[in-house]
C-alpha cells in the first residue's frame, strides 16, 4: 500500500512551437492558462507554489499559481502521484494558452480576446 510522487521535470521557461524562447507580456494584459493531462496517476503540487484542479475530463487538471507565484514558478514543482512500486510510463501533455484580456470594445475583434495591437509586446511569434 502507499504511494510515491514522481517529479515531472517540466521547465518553467516559455517556448514557441519550434522550441524557441518567447518573451513575456509587456503590459500585463494577457491571461494565461495551463492544463496538464496524465495517462495515469494524480497531478500534485506543493501548496506553497500553487494548486491543481480537475477539469472534469478524466486525467486532466488546471494549474493555478499560489499568491506571489507565477506559472514559471509552479510548473517545475508539478509531480504525479502513483502507487508504491509503480513501474511503467506516465504520458504527460501540457497545454498552455494565452488570451489578450484588454481588447477594446470598439475593436473589430471586440470581446474576442484577440490582440490586434502587438506594439507593446516584447516578442512577436509569426
| pLDDT 10s digits, 46-105 | 999 999 999 999 999 999 989 988 888 899 999 999 999 999 999 999 988 776 666 555
Please list, in sequence order, all residues whose beta carbon lies within 8 angstroms of the beta carbon of residue 108, skipping any fewer than 6 positions away.
116
Judged by phi (left if over 0) then psi (alpha if -120 to 50, else beta), residue 115 lies in beta
C-alpha dihedral (7, 73, 20, 17), degrees to nearest 10: 70
Answer yes or no: pTM beyond 0.85: no
**Burial degree of 107 (CB within 10 A; 0-12, 13-18, 19+):** middle
Amino acid at each position: 500500500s502507499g504511494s510515491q510522487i514522481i517529479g515531472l521535470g517540466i521547465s518553467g521557461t516559455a517556448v514557441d512551437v519550434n522550441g524557441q524562447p518567447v518573451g513575456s507580456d509587456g503590459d500585463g494584459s494577457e491571461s494565461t492558462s495551463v492544463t496538464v493531462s496524465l495517462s495515469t496517476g494524480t497531478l500534485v503540487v506543493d501548496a506553497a507554489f500553487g494548486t491543481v484542479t480537475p477539469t472534469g475530463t478524466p486525467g486532466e487538471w488546471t494549474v493555478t499559481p499560489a499568491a506571489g507565484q507565477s506559472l514559471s514558478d509552479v510548473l517545475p514543482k508539478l509531480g504525479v502521484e502513483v502507487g508504491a512500486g509503480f513501474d511503467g510510463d506516465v504520458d504527460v501533455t501540457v497545454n498552455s494558452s494565452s488570451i489578450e484580456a484588454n481588447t477594446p470594445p470598439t475593436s473589430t475583434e471586440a470581446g474576442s480576446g484577440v490582440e490586434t495591437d502587438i506594439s507593446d509586446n516584447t516578442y512577436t511569434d509569426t
